[in-house]
Amino acid sequence: LNQTAPFVSSTLLTLVTNIVSNYGFDGVRIDAGMEMSHEFLANLTNACGVFTIAEVWDYQVPFVASYLGYVDSVFSYPLYGTLSGVFGNSESMWGIESKLREYKDNFNDTSVLGLFF
């Protein structure tokens, strides 16, 4: 859907506001967050009025971190990719240290990131 079209944008924002209110959700997972503009994500987060976590499926930490502020949280795909490489493809465990250092440099609060187990 074209969220830049005023009718589409306002309809989606009204819909999410009503759904969160009617069902009492305390958080919203936003699928395909990287397919939406930062501006629309900020408006969506505001319309939700509850905690939002977006799927930004990319392994580059700065790119994923760039979505924070528009949504409350993102899934930790960069660390997921590193862990998959280390434990699934016998890559060096130093990759974990390197990725965590990159997290420290790019995320203000890693405690809000969505994790995979």
Per-residue pLDDT of the chain (117 residues; tens, 9 = 90+): 899 999 999 999 999 999 999 999 999 999 999 999 999 999 999 999 999 999 999 999 999 999 999 999 999 999 999 999 999 999 999 999 999 999 999 999 999 999 876
CA distance 17 to 37: 19
Pairing of strands 51-54, 73-74: parallel
Q: Which residues pair with 28 in a beta bridge?
A: 52
DSSP state of 17: H
Q: Are 28 and 52 in contact (CB under 8 A)?
A: yes
